[in-house]
Structure 1
Amino acid sequence: MDEAASMSVLLEGCLSDVLSLTSPRDACRAASISKGFNSVADSDAVWEQFLIPDYREIIAEAVSAPLVFGSKKQLYLCLSDYPVLLDRGYMSFQLDKESGKKCYMLGAKELSIAWQGDTRYWEWGHVPEAGILIEVWWLSIRGKIASVILSQKSTYVAYLVFRTTGDSRGLAMPATTRLSDGGIQMVTENIYLRRPRASGRTGHVPQQENDEFPRRRKDGWMEIKLGEFECNEGDDRDVEMAFDEHQSWKTGLIVEGIELRPK
């Protein structure tokens, strides 16, 4: 190998090491600079560093269709764009595209929901893996996840993911959420699945400063924050999330699950 070729290999190796210390977004930007940058920025050596250490084990446990990819970059993008179904299809996994950290969705069948086994109150099947509320007074939804499976040195936020039907009612009442993390409990009140309607001639909607309302996601579902917690290196505990509302009869709620993703 001549001196020029040796220098080229050395520079490519150095560039690969540098890009591996950046982020997926930075690597994609570098790929657009030139053909030389493109070959390094899209290389398996770079994208292997962005993948989580246990991605092979997670893929092996998948119950969904096998992932098809030709490079580590394609695998990364696939894991960030499409959920991998785990645990009988009741839980799903994705990578956060920006950070490469783990995201999990605890599906409705993975949650503990009051009266979920009684067909008078909950229905299953019309929306894949989601629970449809027929009618209840006591709405209680709980989920639990082991912190050890999450990305370390990260702050996670838990969200209840749901939809409502056109004939839903009773969902504009204030609810309470709880997040228990290693004996520490975070309680949030005045959480609403739907904004209260205007009342009286003024059309005024009663609202307090600390009221929390859901937001619409890109996938069309709604989400409301349940709480957040730190996931530090060496942590091995259960984190529990809960949503409770016991003030009125409710119907028309479709629960997809509880999602945990990095803040």
Structure 2
Amino acid sequence: MTTSLNMLSEDCISTVLSLTSPPDACRFMPASSSMRSAAESDIVWGRFLPSDLPQLLSRTHTQLTFSSKKELFFQLCDSILIDGGISTFSLNKVSGKKSYFLSSRALTIGLSDEPNHWIWTTNSTSRFPEVIELKTISNLEIEGRISTQDLSPNTTYGAYLIIKVSDRAFGLGSIPSETSISKHENSVTNTAYLCPLDDQKQQLESLFFMNRRRMMEKRVVEGEGRRPTKRGDGWLEVELGEFFVGGKSETVKMSLMEVKGHQLKGGLIIEGIEIRPKC
């Protein structure tokens, strides 16, 4: 294929490579000097950049400096602060699809302005200036929203609550919370716990809360009782659900709330909700 492409003009090669993917374009660079020039051209990398690029750049928190569209593409593959620093945006290096991270400041959190229940603080491992930590509350309500217009079309996305659990945490692993993904009148619910329990503590709390737990889980249409999984950055993530982005512009609501169990809890640290492609 490389030999056949070398017979074409540089513009033609660039047009062909623009129909591939970022990794494919990079693989052709070492083939020859003319192939490298074509593979690095703005024709190729402009195709990999999102169509709403001007609007995205207008939302960035810091000024980006780049000399080519290829350079801009790889800058956008890192998390870029947008919307005054309360969210981030990034591109997937392989697919070029868009991801967003809504910080805790970009979410609606019940009683977040009440210092008796929540405290805004900093965390050295967070990408945001602030995170929110739960002191104590009985009714947990967390909600984030995003427009499908901001996301990549024809893509299945997953939404993940990104959290940490402090050493002083209590009440987070005994009663399930309800997770929900809603678009218009369509809603898919599930259940999740907010901390991974060690075996001994899980057995004790299971015995103590067994009847109450069963009652709570019956209030949810379907539930797996998902547990948080550890990420490479040291945080935990809880999958809230998934949704498909078609051609129509819709608002997606992502939420987590206690299933009316009114279990007193504390020690939850929330960084935000990440929305990223699942494939």
Shorter-normalised TM-score: what interval?
0.7 to 0.9
Letter in 1 for 2:226: E
Q: CA deviation at 1:230?
A: 1.1
SS in 2 for 1:66: coil
Q: CA deviation at 1:247?
A: 4.6
Does 2:128 align with 1:113? no
What letter corresponds to residue 98 of structure 1 in structure 2? V
Uncovered stretches (5+) of structure 1, i.e. residues with no partner: 1-6
Partner of 2:268: 253
> SS state of the match for residue 176, structure 1?
strand
Q: 1-side partners of 2:94 and 2:136: how far apart?
A: 40
Alignment of 1:1-263 (within 5 A): 10-62=8-60, 64-86=61-83, 88-127=84-123, 128-173=129-174, 174-189=176-191, 191-199=192-200, 210-233=224-247, 235-245=248-258, 246-263=261-278
- Whole-Å Cα distance in 2 between the matches of residues 105 and 171 of structure 1? 23
C-alpha distance in 1 between matches for 2:80 and 2:160: 17
Aligned residues: 252
Is the contact made by 2:101 and 2:274 (CA closer than 8 Å) also made in structure 1? Answer: yes
- Relative to structure 1, the CA distance from residue 32 to residue 212 in structure 2 (aligned partners, 3 Å threshold; closer, same or farther) is farther
Q: If the length of structure 2 is used for normalisation, what is the TM-score?
A: 0.82
Do the aligned partners of residues 13 and 132 (structure 1) sit closer, same or farther apart at CA in structure 2, a change above 3 Å counting? same
Contact 1:84/1:94 (<8 A) preserved: no
* Distance in 2 of aligned mates of 1:248 and 1:196: 17
Q: Summarize deviations over 1:190-228 as a string: whole Å, max 9, x none.
A: x1221233239x99x89x993322222222221111111
Aligned letter for 2:254? M
Q: Is 2:79–2:88's contact at 8 Å kept on the other side of the alignment?
A: no
Write out per-residue CA displacement over residues 131-171 of structure 1, whole angstroms, 9 at most, x where no aligned residue.
11111121110111122222211111111111122222222
Q: TM-score, normalised by structure 1?
A: 0.87
Q: What is the alpha-carbon distance in structure 1 between the residues aligned to residue 257 and residue 31 of structure 2?
A: 52
The secondary structure found in structure 2 opposite 1:53 is coil
- SS at the partner of 2:9? helix
Rounded Cα–Cα distance in structure 2 between residues aligned with 1:154 and 1:112 = 26
1:222 counterpart letter in structure 2 = L
Alpha-carbon separation, structure 2, partners of 1:247 and 1:28: 54
State the Cα distance separating 1:75 from its structure 2 match.
0.6
Q: RMSD over aligned Cα, in angstroms?
A: 2.6
- Quickly say closer, same or farther: Cα 1:139–1:21, change in 2 above 3 A: same
Q: State the SS of the aligned residue for 2:62.
A: coil
Residue identity (%): 37
Give the Cα separation in 1 of the matches to 2:237 and 2:63. Answer: 29
C-alpha distance in 2 between matches for 1:252 and 1:135 = 8
